[in-house]
């Protein structure tokens, strides 16, 4: 494909050289098949580049992302291509039931698997009242009805039509908002409209769950076979892969499931087995709050009577579960469903090798108030990813922060044909990064657990106070955890350091709402403002801080996952058993990828400019430094350590002065 052909659908006047290079690599993987891992820095315009390349071929494109914001961006870029290039590409955004469902009961259920069961329990065939069981699910969910008659969702006293054919006037540029508006006007289910449209459009835009969650994927009306599959924001993919296979079972869930069973007659066998589950976890010999290997967990279950045969007998009760759900719907008692959680837990025990799991048993309270919970956590992202790897013709994993690429490739269990990091489209002069290894009094800066004392907290606070006067508008302070954030802010407040910041400070708490963020944005656009955010929190993952909202990102310490956390311990041990050093590599990669993701929030377009300051002496060490994404690492001032605070101030004054002159 010649360059003019390559760019024939690009929806902007002048692509950057970096975008052209990226598109050539995308073209190569689309034509030859296989897997590509492509790290394209923030502000790169990768969505437009991906779509402009993939839409030149006849294969269906499945574009997955984690956030609705990114899904909307995909829709906008396709519309721009259609408008600029006089094309008629169609798409559907597969929103969750929580966003598309017209049944108020189902819409309130956030868990996708629970919502699935509540949805199916509400659907009827008006000519076949006896239709039910597994065939019923397959017929309505995969749209291969074996009976005549109209399908409806019984939403209280209202019946909502469930379509099995695509209406002629349905939007072919099907965003969530357009589908919902269309469905509400015609009393047709927007969720099922999106399902049947998916088999006909050029591009399906959906969350990772549709592809990686085996329960949801098994009931799709469209196939991954021979498609172009794109994972955008793929820095999340390892976590998503383990999350979709991780299950939990609690005594509270069991008690509510029993209430569901007791509302329906003829369910004695299932009722008896639920009581057996409670008895087993009351007496099982497992350490509390400590990870147990999946194989050991299964052995302990077998010792108290819950062996493979018992689990198979329990799973044979699935038709009874479906009967209960339908009767609850008919009686108007359908709400959150608890039985599906229990069957999902035991389905996972039955379907997967326990070597790749860890069980964590929790026990709360004493006597009659004692309650138990069991979490069965998947440790290996390859377990979910390997299920889909052979179906698409080509798979592209892309994000602004995938480094180190080799670690992602290793843990997903893949061999990429193309593995590449691209230079940013942002001018080199618009990016400044520094590492501070010591504070203004010469004390080493670090958030190591053993160094989290008041003296270190004061060194951080007083050093930041000397930096902030040289930064205009918005500064985001990223803390490694809520605990460190709380302790440092408390110390700074007690010693009067916060007053030295001379700017309003907005604090992200674990349950912060969007108002805190909006208040910060308004303040930063007007003048100096500080946001105290937390790595892996809402502000470091899903939000952008462009222009005045983020002129600097200051990373306090390194956000290593809590080594005392039972899941973290189990994961490190699991990888170390597979290969010595692999657990440590995962632990390092996870922390530094979190850093890359957080500080990348402040450069959002080609003309944006900002500074990243990494405050911890460990950043100067090669095993950390080499993991910093290359487009930021190559902008770090040298030397990497022991920079005097006056030099930092000089760099900041010079950088912002030059940037503001250019803007004028």
The DSSP result for 214-245, as a single string, is: HHHHTT-SS--TT-EEEESSGGGHHHHHHHTT
Pairing type for strands 371-378 and 247-250 reads antiparallel
**Helix, strand, coil % over all residues of the chain, rounded to 5:** 50, 15, 35
**Which tens digits make up the pLDDT trace of 245-258?**
999 999 999 999 99
Overall average pLDDT of the 522-550 stretch? 91
Residues 6+ apart with CB under 8 A from 204: 60, 61, 62, 63, 91, 92, 94, 198, 222
Mean pLDDT of 646-661: 94
**Between 321 and 202, residue with greater pLDDT:** 202
Q: Does 132 have pLDDT greater than 60?
A: no
Distances (CA, A) of 57 to 60, 65, 295, 642: 8, 21, 46, 53
- Strand duo 431-436 + 610-615: pairing: parallel
Is pLDDT of 107 > 80?
yes
In angstroms and rounded to an integer, the radius of gyration of the C-alpha atoms of the chain is 27
Distance, CA of 263 to CA of 426 (rounded, Å): 62
Place of tokens 């999902």: 344
In angstroms, the CA 423 to CA 625 distance is 18
331-337 long-range contacts (CB < 8 A, ≥24 apart) are 331/263, 332/156, 333/263, 334/105, 334/118, 334/121, 334/122, 335/105, 335/118, 336/108, 336/109, 336/114, 336/118, 337/109, 337/114, 337/117, 337/118, 337/121, 337/260
Q: Which fold has domain 247-318+335-380?
A: Fumarase C; Chain B, domain 1 (1.10.275)
What pLDDT digit, counting tens, does each position of 66-84 carry?
A: 888 889 999 999 999 999 9
As to burial, measured by CB atoms within 10 angstroms (0-12 exposed, 13-18 middle, 19+ buried), residue 500 is middle
Q: Kindly state the average pLDDT of the residues 488-517.
A: 92
Q: Domain 1-89+202-243+393-424 classified CATH 3.40.50.300?
A: yes
| Segment 433-453 mean pLDDT | 92
Question: Residue 593: what pLDDT?
Answer: 94
Residues in the chain, overall count: 664
Cα angle vertex 217, ends 394, 88, to 5°?
55
Give the pLDDT score at 364.
82
Do the domains 428-663 and 247-318+335-380 match in fold? no
Measure the CA–CA gap between 9 and 55, rounded to whole angstroms: 8
pLDDT of residue 664: 56
Higher pLDDT pick, 25 / 288: 25
SS (H, E, C) 66-111: CCHHHHHHHHHHHHHHHHHHCCCCCEEEECCHHHHCCCHHHHCCCC
pTM equals: 0.91
Q: Is the pLDDT of residue 128 over 70?
A: no
Dihedral over Cα of 210, 212, 216, 222: its sign: positive
Topology of domain 428-663 in CATH is Rossmann fold (3.40.50)
Q: 220-242 pLDDT, tens per residue?
A: 878 999 999 999 999 999 999 99
**Worst-scoring range by mean pLDDT, 204-218, 372-386, 531-545?**
531-545
What local confidence, expressed as pLDDT, does residue 540 receive? 74
Q: Are 377 and 573 in contact (CB under 8 A)?
A: no
Per-residue pLDDT band at 144 (split at 50, 70, 90) = very low
Instruction: Indicate left, alpha or beta for 167 from its phi (over 0: left) and psi (-120 to 50: alpha).
Output: beta
pLDDT at 546 over 60: yes
| Structural domain spans, the chain | 1-89+202-243+393-424, 92-201, 247-318+335-380, 428-663
Please compute the mean of the pLDDT values over residues 509-534 and round it to a whole number.
Answer: 91
Q: What is the average pLDDT across 177-205?
A: 94
* Predicted local confidence at residue 216, as pLDDT: 87
Q: Which two tokens stand for residue 142?
A: 């995969």
User: 363 or 274: which carries more pLDDT confidence?
Assistant: 274
Q: Give the pLDDT mean for 132-138.
A: 45
Output the six-digit token pair for 465.
Answer: 């106070």
Among residues of the chain, what percentage have pLDDT more than 90?
72
What pLDDT, on the 0 to 100 scale, is given for residue 662?
A: 73
Residue 268's φ and ψ, nearest 5 degrees, are -65, -40
Q: In what order do the strands lie in the sheet with 91-94?
A: 173-174, 91-94, 203-207, 61-65, 228-231, 394-399, 34-39, 418-421
What confidence score (pLDDT) does residue 145 get?
45
Whether 129 has a pLDDT exceeding 60, the answer reads no
Yes or no: say if 568 and 562 are a contact pair by the CB < 8 Å rule. yes
Binned at pLDDT 50, 70 and 90, residue 322 comes out as: confident
Cα 450 to the center of its chain, rounded Å = 31
- Structure-model confidence comparison of residues 149 and 163, the more confident one: 163
**Rounded Cα gap, residues 512 and 503, in angstroms:** 20
Which runs of E-coded beta strand occur in 164-211? 173-174, 203-207
Over residues 555-608, the pLDDT tens digits come to 999 999 999 898 999 999 999 999 999 999 999 999 999 999 999 999 988 889
Whole-angstrom Cα distance, residue 319 to residue 76? 43
**Residues facing 479 on adjacent strands:** 534
Average pLDDT across the chain, whole number: 91
The mean pLDDT of 196-217, rounded to a whole number, is: 93
Structure tokens at 552: 């600097």
Phi/psi-derived region of residue 134, left when phi > 0, alpha when psi is between -120 and 50, beta in every other case: alpha
pLDDT at 136: 46
Q: Which of 141-150, 320-329, 596-605 has the lowest mean pLDDT?
A: 141-150
């Amino acid at each position: 494909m010649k360059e003019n052909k390559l760019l024939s659908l690009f929806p902007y006047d002048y692509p950057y050289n970096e975008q052209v290079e990226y598109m050539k690599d995308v073209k190569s993987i689309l034509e030859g098949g296989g897997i590509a891992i492509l790290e394209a820095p923030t502000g790169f315009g990768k969505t437009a580049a991906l779509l402009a390349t993939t839409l030149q071929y006849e294969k269906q494109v499945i574009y997955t992302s984690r956030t609705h914001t990114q899904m909307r961006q995909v829709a906008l870029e396709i519309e721009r291509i259609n408008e600029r290039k006089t094309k008629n590409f169609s798409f559907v955004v597969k929103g969750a039931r929580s966003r598309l469902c017209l049944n108020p009961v189902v819409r309130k259920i956030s868990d996708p698997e629970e919502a699935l069961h509540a949805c199916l329990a509400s659907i009827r065939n008006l000519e076949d009242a006896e239709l039910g069981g597994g065939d019923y699910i397959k017929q309505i969910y995969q749209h291969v009805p074996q009976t005549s008659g109209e399908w409806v969702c019984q939403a209280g006293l209202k019946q909502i039509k469930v379509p099995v054919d695509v209406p002629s006037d349905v939007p072919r540029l099907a965003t969530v908002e357009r589908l919902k508006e269309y469905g509400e006007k015609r009393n047709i289910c927007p969720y099922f409209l999106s399902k049947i449209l998916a088999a006909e459009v050029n591009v399906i835009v959906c969350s990772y769950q549709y592809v990686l969650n085996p329960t949801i994927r098994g009931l799709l009306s469209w196939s991954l076979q021979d498609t172009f599959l794109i994972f955008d924001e793929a820095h999340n993919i390892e976590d998503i892969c383990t999350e979709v296979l991780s299950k939990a079972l609690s005594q509270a869930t069991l008690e509510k499931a029993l209430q569901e069973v007791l509302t329906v007659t003829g369910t004695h066998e299932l009722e008896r087995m639920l009581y057996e589950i409670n008895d087993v976890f009351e007496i099982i010999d497992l350490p509390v709050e400590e990870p147990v290997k999946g194989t050991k967990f299964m052995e302990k279950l077998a010792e108290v009577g819950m062996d493979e045969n018992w689990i198979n007998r329990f799973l044979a009760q699935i038709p009874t579960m479906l009967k209960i759900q339908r009767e609850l719907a008919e009686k108007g008692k359908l709400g959150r469903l608890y039985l599906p959680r229990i069957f999902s837990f035991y389905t996972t025990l039955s379907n997967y090798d326990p070597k790749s799991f860890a069980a964590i048993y929790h026990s709360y309270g004493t006597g009659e108030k004692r309650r138990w919970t069991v979490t069965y956590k998947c440790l290996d992202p390859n377990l979910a990813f390997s299920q889909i790897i052979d179906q698409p013709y080509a798979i592209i994993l892309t994000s602004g922060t995938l480094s180190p690429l080799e670690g992602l490739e290793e843990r997903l269990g893949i061999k990429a044909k193309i593995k590449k990091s691209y230079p940013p489209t942002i001018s080199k002069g618009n990016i400044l990064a520094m590492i501070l290894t010591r504070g203004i009094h010469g004390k080493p800066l670090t958030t190591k657990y053993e160094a989290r004392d008041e003296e270190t907290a004061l060194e951080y606070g007083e050093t930041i106070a000397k930096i902030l006067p040289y930064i205009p508008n918005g500064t985001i302070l990223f803390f490694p955890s809520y605990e460190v954030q709380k302790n440092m802010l408390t110390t700074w407040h007690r010693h009067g350091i916060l007053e030295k910041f001379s700017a309003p400070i907005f604090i992200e708490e674990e349950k912060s709402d969007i108002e805190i963020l909006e208040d910060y944005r308004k303040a930063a656009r007007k003048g100096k403002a500080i946001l105290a955010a937390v790595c892996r929190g809402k502000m470091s993952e899903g939000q952008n801080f462009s222009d005045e909202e983020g002129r600097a990102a200051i990373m306090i310490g390194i956000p290593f996952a809590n080594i005392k956390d039972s899941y973290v311990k189990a994961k490190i041990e699991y990888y170390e058993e597979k290969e010595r050093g692999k657990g440590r590599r995962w632990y390092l990669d996870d922390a530094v990828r979190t850093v890359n993701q957080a500080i990348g929030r402040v450069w959002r377009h080609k003309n944006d400019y900002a500074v990243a300051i990494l405050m911890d002496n460990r950043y100067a060490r090669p095993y950390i430094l080499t993991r910093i994404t290359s487009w930021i690492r190559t902008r770090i001032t040298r030397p990497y350590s022991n920079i005097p605070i006056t030099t930092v101030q000089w760099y900041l004054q010079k950088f912002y002065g030059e940037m503001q002159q250019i803007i004028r």
